[in-house]
Amino acid sequence: MVKVLISDKLSPAAIAIFKERGVEVDIKTGLTPAELREIIGQYDGLAIRSATKVTKDVLDAATNLKVVGRAGIGVDNVDVKAATSRGVVVMNTPHGNAITTAEHAIAMMFALARQLPEASASTKAGKWEKNRFMGVELTAKTLGLIGCGNIGSIVADRAVGLKMKVLAYDPFLTEARAVELGVEKAELEVIFARADFITLHTPLIDATRNIISRDALAKMKKGVRIINCARGGLVDEAALYDALKSGHVAGAALDVFEEEPATASPLFELENVVCTPHLGAATMEAQENVALQVAEQISDFLLTGSVTNALNMPSVSAEEAPRLRPYMDLCRLLGAFAGQLTLAQDGVIKRILVEYEGTAAPLNHRPLNAAALAGLLAPVMEGVNMVNAPVLARDHGIEVAEASTDRTGDYQGLVRISVTTEKSTRSVAGTLIGNGRPRLVEIKGIKVEADFARNMLYVTNKDKPGFIGRFGMILADAGVNIATFHLGRAAEGEDAICLVSTDGQTPDAVLAAVRALPLVMQATNLAF
């Protein structure tokens, strides 16, 4: 039975999802980092909100951990790079609180435009300062969106409904999507020059840190108002303070800060700043939604292999998983076959090409490629899996390419992996038979049909009489029992391949004897 640790508070309904699906769950909130490190090794999954810090030290102790699920969007509290290196999937729930966060941004924009917090405080203090609080309308104003993903697109929709002109900057926003949303796609410089209000809806990464910098503020239209309900660190707070004091920026509404909890800040002294304590996702509906989603996602991954909203692994939907799983097994085995031959023969891998034919062509190839890479790199790198294999390949300068065609040859569906080194290029191909069983059908262009077995002996030789008898005799004399025996050749008298599955690994001395046979060019133990 798989085990999941819930280390931050989740709703009872989320806990029930784990239990109903047969996942053993422990609820231990408020753990210190040392306490978490001490127990994390016994769990397959970890469900968190924002309080738990999943650091490299925690991940190093998480020897069985397969997935971290964050009930919410931001994963600032998770070392995603370290998780990827350890092969741990990191998931979030970007849709569960999207509406709530978007609504908070709109609310902050209204509060800023009409000076609602100051007006409320003044009125409650017994004053009646109608002339002091002169706001601005949102209608016909230009809103600049920085980030137009899940949340940003909802903000855009609400802003268009308010009759605002919306400019959107997002590297992944297509012209077609912009038209669909009713926004104008624009570069940052254009937004800075034209926007009356600017709202941020982008993750905090190296490319977006201090995206609202001192230089950016200087380029903005005088009287601009800035809203940040995304992540602290997107705005240079010291530069914003100066711009607010000078009057260049008319106001700011901040739900997030560089350091949280934010209990002191020069920004708090300014009347034209509206602040809330990271309330973007703080509604009953959102908290329930993200808790339910993270429970479903972790359960689905651990029980069925489906991957949803992963930050460091290709997604595999629950519907795709049953179709993809046999092909993922095939790709992993083909990769392992090619990787072991390459390790034995050529050394450094330069390029990998994965080809899909027939029924394999229209499938989701990203997880299949990851499975192939995991199998390929496992013989030479420790701890490789589908999560970290693409990163390891990139870090080692391995070019990864894919090609597909819906044409069929001898098989309805075929996967071929070609590995290029400094010395040569070799390929291996396979298909699925029966109820989805992986089967080898081609090695280096030579047709050889064989099932994968735990222990196999791969031999290349010249196709001449006498080889099979001598080879069989060596194995027999050594007490190596042959389970299956498969042969293939390029042409009569030319290169041939012998693939034997055995009841145990062939001893080194026996392998040496096989290599010493006159017609043998290569003999390699393979393990799957």
**Interatomic CA distance for residues 427 and 489, integer angstroms:** 15
DSSP-assigned states of every residue in 285-344: HHHHHHHHHHHHHHHHHHHH--B-SBSSS--B-TTHHHHHHHHHHHHHHHHHHHHHHHHH
Average pLDDT for 282-286: 88
Helix (H) or strand (E) segment spanning residue 368: helix 365-377
| Phi, psi (deg, nearest 5) at residue 65 | -65, 135
54-65 tens-digit pLDDT: 999 999 999 999
The pLDDT, as a whole number, for residue 54 is 96
Active-site option among 86, 278, 416, 426: 278
Q: What is the pLDDT of residue 491?
A: 84
Q: Give the H or E element holding residue 527.
A: strand 520-527
φ/ψ of 76, rounded to 5, equals -60, -25
The pLDDT, as a whole number, for residue 305 is: 83
Range 312-316 average pLDDT: 82
Would you place residue 344 in the very low, low, confident or very high pLDDT band (cuts 50, 70, 90)? low
Taking each helix axis as running N to C, give the angle between helix 284-304 and helix 98-114, from 0 to 180 degrees, rounded to the nearest 10: 150
Choices 1.20.120.530, 3.40.50.150, 3.30.1330.90, 3.40.50.1010: CATH for 316-452? 3.30.1330.90
Dist CA 416 CA 443 (whole Å): 9
Is 296 among the residues known to form the active site? no
Query: Which residue, 82, 224, 62, 200, is CA-closest to 142?
Result: 224
For helices 508-515 and 467-477, give the axis angle rounded to 10 degrees: 160
Domain with CATH 3.30.1330.90 in the chain: 316-452
Asked if residue 345 has pLDDT above 70, the reply is no
The per-residue pLDDT of the chain, averaged, comes to: 92
Cα distance between residue 348 and residue 73, in whole Å: 39
DSSP code string of 398-460 = -EEEEEEE---SSSSEEEEEEEEESS-EEEEEEEEETTTEEEEEEETTEEEEEE--SEEEEEE
Instruction: State both tokens at 118.
Output: 């100051």
**Per-residue pLDDT at 195 exceeds 70:** yes
Q: How confident is the model at residue 76 (pLDDT cuts 50, 70, 90)?
A: confident
Q: Looking at the domain 98-275, which fold is it? A: Rossmann fold (3.40.50)
- Give the DSSP H or E segment for 121: helix 116-124
Domain with CATH 3.30.70.260 in the chain: 453-528
- Rounded-to-integer distance, Cα 112 and Cα 126, Å: 22
| Other C-beta atoms lying within 10 Å of the C-beta of residue 260 | 12
User: Sheet harboring 184-185: ordered strands across?
Assistant: 184-185, 165-169, 142-146, 197-200, 224-228, 249-254, 273-275
Please, what is the Cα angle at 452 between 447 and 456, to 5 degrees? 90
> Percent of the chain at pLDDT above 70?
99
The widest CA-to-CA distance across the chain, in whole angstroms, is 108
Among 260, 271, 285, 494, the active-site one is 260
In the predicted structure, residue 346 carries a pLDDT above the cut 70: no
CATH topology of domain 453-528: Alpha-Beta Plaits (3.30.70)
Residue 87 pLDDT grade (very low, low, confident, very high; cuts 50, 70, 90):
confident
Determine phi and psi for 431, rounding to 5 degrees.
-145, 180
Residue 192's CB is within 10 A of a number of other CB atoms, namely: 23
24 labelled catalytic:
no
d(CA 251, CA 14): 40
Enumerate the β-bridge partners of residue 90: 68
Return the CATH class of domain 3-96+285-304.
alpha beta
Residue 408 has pLDDT above 90, yes or no: no
Calpha distance 417→365 (Å, rounded): 13
d(C-alpha 335, C-alpha 376), whole Å: 4
Distance separating alpha carbons of residues 490 and 331, to the nearest angstrom = 24
Q: Which one of 86, 104, 158, 231 is the catalytic residue?
A: 231
In this predicted structure, what is the pLDDT of residue 455?
A: 92
Residues of the chain with CATH 3.40.50.720: 3-96+285-304, 98-275
Judge whether 95 counts as a catalytic residue: no
Q: How far apart are CA 60 and CA 68, in angstroms?
A: 14
pLDDT at 66: 95
pLDDT at 19: 95
pLDDT of 174 reads: 87
pLDDT at 97: 85
Check if the beta carbon of residue 197 is closer than 8 Å to that of residue 172.
no
Sheet-wide strand order for 349-358: 399-405, 349-358, 413-421, 425-433, 437-443, 446-451
Angle at which helices 116-124 and 98-114 cross, to 10°? 60
